[in-house]
Copies of this chain bind each other. A is one copy, B any other.
Amino acid sequence: MGGDGSSKARDRASLRRTNLALVLRLLRDAGPRPRTQIATETGLPKATITNLVAELVERGLVREGDSARDGAVGRPSRTLAIDGRSVCGIGLEISADYVHLIALDLRGEVAAEHRLPLDARAAGPDAVLDRAAEAIRATRRTLQGRKAQAVAVTVAAPGVIQRDSGVVSYAPNIGWRDVDVVGGLRERLGRGCPPVRLENDAKLGAVAEYLVAAQAGIHDLIYVTGETGVGGGIISDGRLLRGSAGFAGEIGHMRLAPDGKPCACGRQGCWETMVGLNALLEHAAAPDDPVRDPSVDLEQRLAELRRRADAGEPATRAALDKIADGLGLGLTVLADVLNPRAIVLGGYFAYFGDHFIAQVENELTARVVAPDAGGCTVLASTLGFTAAARGGAHASLDFVYQDPGGTMAAPG
């Protein structure tokens, strides 16, 4: 009961943080508006709003724009809007084939981008983290040149990660086990390094896809990405579903394959043995076919398969049909459990989207117990291989939207 002076000071600081965040998020979600309208909409006194806005402007998060008439009578007052050129969030994806960095400013515009081709398995964790740190340093220099700063770095990694400790526990497709990604990057970046966080790549891909889908009023979606592994990210009622320990969305390992084929994870019958990239390649081509040669660039091999499918080559068409069957099986299970408004196919599933979507949608309609597949649409991702890095950059910007006062003043 009650509290002493220092706990009251803490309460006040926490209240101010909450209110700064409230105002900043209102401007993001509802668009530019004058101070008086912000006061009405937040229920906070006008003097408080004036004071909060002053801090947000000083930190370079909000700018004053055009005048607007506030209501039918009274003097015109200036409209406030998200500024955001001075702060950026960085997303950095580590995949089997590349390291990819995207920096987005507070308004979601791309401020910087780097893509480094790399065989992550062959290079090993140390070399990959060296390259990742270089990319982050280069980006920070670029941003500093524009008087902007990076508020946080969110790393997207394939596989099972421990979010609290920043460790990749297990990423079979790049051969990593217990790699301290956050610690390794912090050490390389040294003092003054922005906060670094780790998240699963498919979860961050889902965040990026949701920012697109929300424009169309879609707030429940599943992002399903097909690469060597099959990953998933679930958005439910506008929120990323993490589960109790951050492991939700491990859909590639649902035990659905009736033949019980061994999986890279050491278990049997995982869904990704039916629909992962290797299943497609094995169905489509003989072992000595160049599309199965891992030394050839993946995008080239997919383009060749695409060419064959478009030419009506029977083995390729049959392989794609078989993958569509398997996709249908897993997606109906997910639709029965989660009732998404949309399933967004990423990775190679998106690349062959036109071959998969009709077949999978028919399967959903026939099979899902809710009427009309519960209203679910299947879409191909339009973000391609940028989804995870882009989602990471957005997650980094969340630092600002959660605690605008915590943002360091822009340098220079």
Contacts and interface: CB of A to CB of B under 8 A. Distances in A.
Interface of A: 1-4, 8, 11, 15, 18-19, 33-34, 36-37, 40-41, 43, 68-72, 79, 160, 169-170, 218-220, 232, 234, 236-237, 239, 241-251, 253-256, 258, 265, 267, 270, 329, 332-334, 336-341, 367-371, 374-376
Nearest to A160: B370
B237 A237 contact: no
A239 B238 CA distance: 12
Given A160-B371, A169-B371, A237-B239, 13 more contacts: A1-B34, A8-B40, A218-B244, A243-B338, A245-B370, A245-B374, A248-B337, A251-B337, A253-B336, A253-B368, A254-B333, A254-B336, A256-B333
The 5 A-B pairs of least Cβ separation, nearest first, read A243-B339, A244-B341, A247-B370, A2-B71, A220-B244
A352 B240 CA distance: 35
A370 B71 contact: no
A267 B338 contact: no
Contacts of A244: 218-220, 339-341, 374-376
Contact of A2 (B69, B234, B255): B69
A4 B246 contact: no
A4 B72 contact: yes
Contacts of A376: 244
Contact of A71 (B4, B251, B255): B4
Between A68, A241, A267, the greatest number of chain B beta carbons within 10 A of the residue's beta carbon is seen for A241
Contacts of A237: 239, 241-242
Contacts of A339: 242-250
Nearest to A79: B1
B340 A337 contact: no
Contacts of A341: 244-245
B267 A367 contact: yes
A242 B412 CA distance: 49
